[in-house]
């Protein structure tokens, strides 16, 4: 097989195998890319983490050895999410209610080549996402007045990056890198809003359109349900393509100390569009479904600034630290929904989110036991980006604290296997505020991530 065929096969594997992406742990973003970074708490700005380093700082490609590498891997994420109704004591757990969600698996693949002062890379990685599945029979599927609807409450967001990266060793100490990433994101969503939530949105000017009088004219409106989902491994109810860019550098301050910095721009993604059903729920008339077109407008991934340092303490021991600033505030003020019914009429809704910018500290270490075996461990702590007053049960991206560990084993100078495990400690949040919840609720969320990468040099 030629090198070009190897590259094409690797990227195709990741793109076609991107079955499901987990509820990410830095809000919608995974807490590290590749098994080396993940095992070390997500550090990746000033160390060689292999091909996955292009997702954080493409200049780290210049830290790799001369030659070519192909990498294939898999992320597996299991979540433990529970929503408790504080008024009644009822609980709803996110589990395997559907073939569409959880546990979550995300293949990844990449090819890199370093020749002289230049290094190049191309790959496909899950940047992150979210996923919940509460089924059809919990209190979340109950409309105003205690009316059971039998309607689903669930979510699945997939975000895929396909970076094309290059790095140049400008001097013996300084390397500069950049990438252009093609991006794809897809969303499945089933969401029930009670009549009080609908009324709150209308009263605050967050729900407008010609369908508002239609809903208001129903004799006993109890709620409204949006369904934009496909129960298939790859397909999403709405999706969109776009791009982002990334610049970075690494600087060897001394023989044992390396500094790094990288900036990833805010994404430029088109509106996610597709088909949806808006179901009006009435106590007298029953359920009234309206099929139509839907757009999730200007749903973007945030810009990120990463600063990092690594220290070679001994020939066998490496320590590293990253500080990241994630600019959620500028991209996640509202979730904007525009619906046009096939039978006529439209509805525009702005669901408040009002995220805060997030600061993340990652600490990691690697110890090379011998020529074959390397042990890794890390810690990660993030400030909270979500606000309790705008929390949704279907978007419970609350974990902030992680512990990670991993191992790497070299079968030969050309072949190695890296494994990482990361635990997101349970984090809880309350919300009793309209319009994002009707019942006062407490949401708790923890999860475990496992990552396995195989790398072959040639």
* For residues 312-324, average pLDDT: 98
* For residues 132-157, average pLDDT: 94
Query: What are the φ and ψ backbone dihedral angles of 229, each rounded to 5 degrees?
Result: -155, 155
Per cent of the chain over pLDDT 90 is: 86
Query: What are the φ and ψ backbone dihedral angles of 83, each rounded to 5 degrees?
Result: -115, 125
CATH of residue 41's domain is 2.40.160.60
* pLDDT tens, residue by residue, 4-27: 443 344 343 444 344 444 445 689
Per cent of the chain over pLDDT 70 is: 93
Domain that holds residue 164: 3-457
| Torsional sign, CA 351, 88, 92, 448 | positive
Collapsing DSSP to helix, strand or coil, 49 comes out as coil
- Please report the DSSP string for 276-333 in residue order: EEEEEEETTTEEEEEEEEEEEET--PPPEEEEEEEEE-SSSEEEEEEEEEE--TTT-S
Per-residue pLDDT at 124 exceeds 90:
yes
Q: How many Cβ atoms are within 10 Å of 197's Cβ, its own excluded?
A: 22
Per-residue pLDDT at 32 exceeds 80:
yes
Give the span between the Cα atoms of 264 and 183, in whole angstroms: 13
* For residues 85-96, average pLDDT: 90
pLDDT score of 233: 67
* For residues 302-313, average pLDDT: 98
* pLDDT tens, residue by residue, 215-226: 999 999 999 999
Domain count, the chain: 1
* For residues 124-131, average pLDDT: 90
Residue 96 — very low, low, confident or very high, per pLDDT cuts 50/70/90? low
pLDDT score of 276: 98
* For residues 161-177, average pLDDT: 98
Query: Over the chain, what is the mean pLDDT?
Result: 92
Give the span between the Cα atoms of 224 and 395, in whole angstroms: 18
Per-residue pLDDT at 234 exceeds 80:
no
pLDDT score of 95: 72
Q: What H or E segment, with its residue span, contains residue 250?
A: strand 238-252
pTM attached to this predicted model: 0.92
If you ran DSSP here, which 8-state letter would residue 9 be given? H
Residues in the chain: 458
Residue 42 — very low, low, confident or very high, per pLDDT cuts 50/70/90? very high
């Amino acid at each position: 097989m030629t090198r070009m065929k190897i590259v094409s096969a690797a990227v195709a594997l990741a793109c076609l195998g991107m079955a499901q992406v987990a509820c990410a742990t830095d809000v919608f973003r995974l807490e590290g890319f590749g098994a080396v970074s993940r095992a070390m708490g997500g550090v990746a700005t000033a160390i060689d983490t292999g091909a996955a380093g292009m997702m954080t700082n493409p200049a780290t490609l210049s830290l790799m050895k001369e030659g070519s590498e192909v990498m294939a891997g898999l992320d597996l994420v299991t979540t433990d999410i529970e929503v408790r109704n504080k008024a009644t004591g009822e609980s709803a757990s996110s589990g395997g209610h559907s073939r569409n969600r959880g546990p979550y698996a995300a293949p990844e693949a990449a090819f890199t080549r370093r020749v002289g002062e230049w290094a190049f890379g191309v790959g496909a990685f899950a940047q992150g996402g979210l996923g919940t599945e509460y089924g059809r029979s919990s209190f979340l599927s109950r409309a105003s007045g205690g009316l059971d609807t039998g309607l689903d409450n669930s979510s699945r967001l997939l975000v895929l990056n396909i970076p094309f990266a290059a790095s140049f060793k400008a001097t013996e100490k300084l390397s500069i890198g950049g990438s252009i990433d093609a991006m794809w994101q897809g969303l499945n969503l089933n969401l029930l809003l009670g009549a009080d939530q609908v009324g709150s949105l209308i009263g605050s000017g967050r729900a407008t359109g010609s369908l508002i009088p239609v809903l208001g004219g129903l004799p006993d409106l109890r709620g409204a349900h949006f369904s934009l989902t496909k129960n298939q491994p790859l397909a999403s109810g709405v999706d969109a393509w776009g791009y982002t860019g990334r610049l970075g550098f690494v600087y060897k301050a001394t023989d044992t100390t390396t500094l790094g910095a990288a900036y990833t721009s805010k994404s430029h993604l088109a509106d996610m569009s597709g088909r949806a059903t808006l179901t009006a729920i009435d106590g007298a008339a029953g359920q009234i479904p309206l099929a139509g077109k839907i757009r999730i407008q200007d749903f973007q991934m945030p810009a990120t600034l990463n600063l990092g340092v690594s220290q070679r303490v001994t020939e066998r021991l490496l320590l590293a630290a990253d500080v990241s600033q994630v600019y959620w505030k500028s991209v996640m003020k509202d979730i904007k929904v525009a619906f046009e019914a096939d039978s006529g009429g439209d509805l525009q809704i702005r669901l408040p989110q009002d995220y805060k910018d997030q600061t993340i500290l990652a600490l990691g270490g690697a110890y090379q036991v011998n020529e074959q075996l390397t042990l890794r461990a890390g810690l990660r702590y993030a400030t909270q980006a979500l606000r309790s007053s705008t929390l949704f049960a279907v978007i419970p991206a609350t974990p902030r604290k992680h512990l990670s560990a991993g191992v790497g084993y070299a079968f030969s100078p050309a072949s190695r296997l890296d494994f990482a495990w990361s635990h997101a400690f349970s984090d809880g949040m309350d919300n009793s505020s309209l319009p994002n919840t009707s019942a006062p609720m407490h949401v708790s969320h923890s999860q475990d991530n496992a990552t396995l990468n195989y790398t072959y040099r040639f």
